[in-house]
């Protein structure tokens, strides 16, 4: 089954690519050896994150257009939240990207979080590396935008774009520490709304101490993604950052983050939610059930 799959992927065969992603995501026998056979790749990964409703999907759609205009090929991974009961996707808002489904230079794959606490698919690292083995010029990963996904994406992507809206002022106050750590570019979307200029000005003031401390300029680009306004400027900022030496130095840290998640996941392999649910149902028959006693007994 795995024989010749990698060669076909490297030749740009989309059916083989889609099949290999499904096989790895479902941990079909032999997938570990397949992953170990993947060649090293320098294909860059752009992470798109931010709070729900900020316009991440619309921004991603507009960025795809910028890549296509340059004659390049792009792969897009869109991570949707999933039901805690059947692990299927709750949202399927890929309709915003429907214009690319028949374009042979665009590959779009929608993934469910499958109960992952962090907001990314449990196999996101492996799937991204499979895409890197194909002939894409860029890979875009769009997160759910909840939980720890804003932080997790920094360990996966070469550059992280944080999409915000003018109404997110209060939310930024609680998220600013993490956002400043991971954001390489801020896209203030829906900037045609009232208060957008004030929001951008306040965001610059908030980031000013970080500039003086680490001398890293974090661009802030005003966009109206559904009209593709400001998207060309955003794309130019992304390309400029990807070409800097600073991000080349980040490579070892990115790989260390990936290695940590892979080792952590391997050690948790035998902890299945369905099995835990069955065991807990039995334990609940006792009125003295203690979750911590149950957990530490299994460790």
Reading the chain (299 residues) residue by residue, the pLDDT tens digits are 888 999 999 999 999 999 999 999 898 999 999 999 999 888 999 999 888 889 999 999 999 999 999 999 999 998 876 544 444 444 455 566 788 988 999 999 988 765 444 446 778 889 999 999 999 999 999 987 654 555 667 778 889 999 999 986 655 655 555 666 778 999 999 999 998 999 999 888 887 765 555 556 889 999 999 999 999 999 999 999 998 855 555 667 777 878 888 888 888 877 888 889 999 999 999 888 888 888 888 87
For residue 109, the SS3 value is strand
Q: Which residues contact 203 (CB under 8 A, 6 or more apart)?
A: 164, 172, 186, 188, 220
Q: Which residue's structure tokens are 């479902």?
A: 26
Residue 17, Ramachandran bin (φ over 0: left; ψ between -120 and 50: alpha; else beta): alpha
- Tell me the pTM: 0.83
For residue 78, the SS3 value is strand
Beta-carbon count within 10 A of 92 CB: 11
Residue 183, Ramachandran bin (φ over 0: left; ψ between -120 and 50: alpha; else beta): beta
DSSP conformational letter for 224? B
Dihedral sign from CA coordinates of 117, 118, 121, 122: negative
Q: Which residues contact 116 (CB under 8 A, 6 or more apart)?
A: 122
Domain 41-268: CATH superfamily is: P-loop containing nucleotide triphosphate hydrolases (3.40.50.300)
Radius of gyration, alpha carbons of the chain = 20
């Amino acid at each position: 089954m795995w024989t010749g799959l990698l060669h076909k992927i490297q030749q740009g065969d989309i059916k083989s690519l889609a099949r290999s992603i499904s096989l790895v995501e479902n941990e079909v026998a032999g997938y570990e050896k397949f992953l170990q056979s993947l060649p090293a790749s320098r294909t860059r990964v752009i992470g798109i994150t931010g709070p729900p409703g900020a316009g991440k999907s619309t921004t991603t759609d507009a960025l795809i257009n910028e890549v296509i205009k340059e004659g390049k090929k792009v792969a897009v991974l869109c991570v949707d939240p999933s039901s805690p009961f059947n692990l299927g996707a709750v949202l399927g808002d890929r309709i915003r990207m429907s214009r690319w489904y028949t374009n042979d230079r665009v590959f779009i794959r929608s993934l469910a979080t499958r109960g992952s606490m962090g907001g990314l698919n449990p196999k996101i690292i492996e799937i991204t590396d499979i895409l890197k083995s194909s002939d894409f010029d860029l890979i875009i990963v769009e997160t759910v935008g909840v939980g720890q996904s804003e932080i997790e994406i920094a360990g996966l992507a070469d550059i992280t774009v944080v999409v915000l809206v003018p109404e997110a002022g209060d939310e930024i106050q609680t998220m600013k520490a993490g956002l400043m750590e991971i954001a390489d570019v801020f896209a203030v979307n829906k900037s045609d709304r009232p208060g957008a200029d004030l929001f951008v000005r306040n965001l610059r003031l908030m980031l000013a101490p970080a500039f003086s401390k680490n001398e890293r300029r974090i661009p802030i680009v005003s966009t109206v993604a559904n009209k593709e306004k400001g998207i060309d400027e955003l794309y130019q900022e992304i390309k400029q950052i990807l070409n800097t030496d600073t991000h080349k130095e980040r490579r070892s840290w990115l790989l260390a983050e990936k290695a940590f998640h892979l080792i952590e996941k391997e050690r948790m392999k035998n902890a299945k939610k369905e099995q835990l649910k069955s065991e807990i149902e039995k334990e609940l028959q006792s009125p003295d059930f203690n979750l911590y006693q149950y957990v530490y007994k299994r460790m």
